[in-house]
Amino acid sequence: MADLKGINLAMQTPFDGNGVIDFAVFEKLIDQYVEAGVHGLVLGAGTGQHPYLTEVECNRLYEVGAKRIAGRCNVICQTSALNMDEVIRRSQHAESVGAQALMILPPYFEGPSDDDGIFEFYRAVDAVVGTDIVGYNIPQATGISVSPQLLERLFQLKNFNYIKDSAGDFTVHQEFLQKSGTVLNGADPTTVYALMAGARGVIWGAANYMPTEAVELYDLVIGGKYEQALALWQRMLPSILFIWRAPYTPSVLRAAQLRGYGTGNVRRPLRKLSADQEALLRKSLEALDV
């Protein structure tokens, strides 16, 4: 079982102005994030615009990313897809290039939403992979909520060893933690509190624009320096609250670009921020540079 503790950065996919993946920038970003001290990189993450990448593009990201990372931190690949056979293909390819874990959404968009149906989906994937599975609870995007009772069943599968919880319901998050210590927080505004409550780590989109601060926050919490952690959190919070309410991925990518990470470009149908949103984003980032 892989140890996914710490800051697992939900990595952006850099595009050029025409919406083509810029692999040179991608490799540079990997180096920047590894040098910042992140514990893992999630390739093909939601923040990496996974829904708008083809299977071929995702596979190439896994290949290039794993090779560039070269064991310097954990490699987590999102292998979600609507088609079951595609989930399996993506997962097995990610395994073949050295992924330590596979992040997989439940069968979203008119798939089975009952506990038995979701369990059977993950059981089928579990049966054909040998790599850790990170389940993904993000009901605001999928319409599917993983209950604490279902999570307890899922943890009985051989490879289902983690859950990424992006719901933002801290009560449920703590119920998850009662089932296992291998919970990864994915809701930006609860990050510091989830770590204090015992989350093993985070899969964090906002770390794209503040990787050094994210690692520092984790280190402070793990070191029991809660007062210093909360002081740092107050500097991070204005931008976190902004991105959580604004168009998330365009905000994160633009913030990253402004702070020296990536191109800031999104792929259609996503759009760049409006002028008003841009002004608010810039204002929210000022606290990080104090």
pLDDT digits (tens, 9 = 90+) for 261-275: 999 999 999 999 999
Q: Return the closest-CA partner of residue 116 out of 84, 94, 149.
A: 149
Residue 290 has pLDDT above 80, yes or no: no
Residue 116 has pLDDT above 90, yes or no: yes
DSSP of 147-188, one letter per residue? -HHHHHHHTTSSSEEEEEE-S--HHHHHHHHHH-S-EEE--G
pLDDT digits (tens, 9 = 90+) for 241-260: 999 999 999 999 999 999 99
Q: What tokens were used for 269?
A: 């149908």
- C-alpha–C-alpha distance, residues 72 and 166, integer Å: 26
pLDDT value, residue 50? 96
Range 48-57 average pLDDT: 97
Residue type, 214: A
Q: Enumerate the domain spans of the chain.
A: 6-223
Cis preceding linkage at 269, omega within 30 = yes
Q: Are strands 132-137 and 160-165 parallel, antiparallel or unpaired?
A: parallel
With cut-offs at 50, 70 and 90, classify the pLDDT of residue 110.
confident
pLDDT digits (tens, 9 = 90+) for 62-90: 999 999 999 999 999 999 999 999 999 99
Q: Return the closest-CA partner of residue 26 out of 261, 266, 270.
A: 261
240 Cβ contact partners less than 8 Å away, ≥ 6 residues apart: 188, 189, 191, 206
With cut-offs at 50, 70 and 90, classify the pLDDT of residue 177.
very high
pLDDT value, residue 109? 81
pLDDT digits (tens, 9 = 90+) for 29-39: 999 999 999 99
More confident residue, 278 or 180: 278
Q: What tokens were used for 250?
A: 């365009």
pLDDT value, residue 273? 98
pLDDT value, residue 132? 98
User: At the fourth CATH level, which superfamily is domain 6-223?
Assistant: Aldolase class I (3.20.20.70)
pLDDT value, residue 71? 97
Residue 172 CB: number of other CB atoms within 10 A? 18
pLDDT value, residue 95? 98
pLDDT value, residue 9? 98
Q: What tokens were used for 257?
A: 């670009």
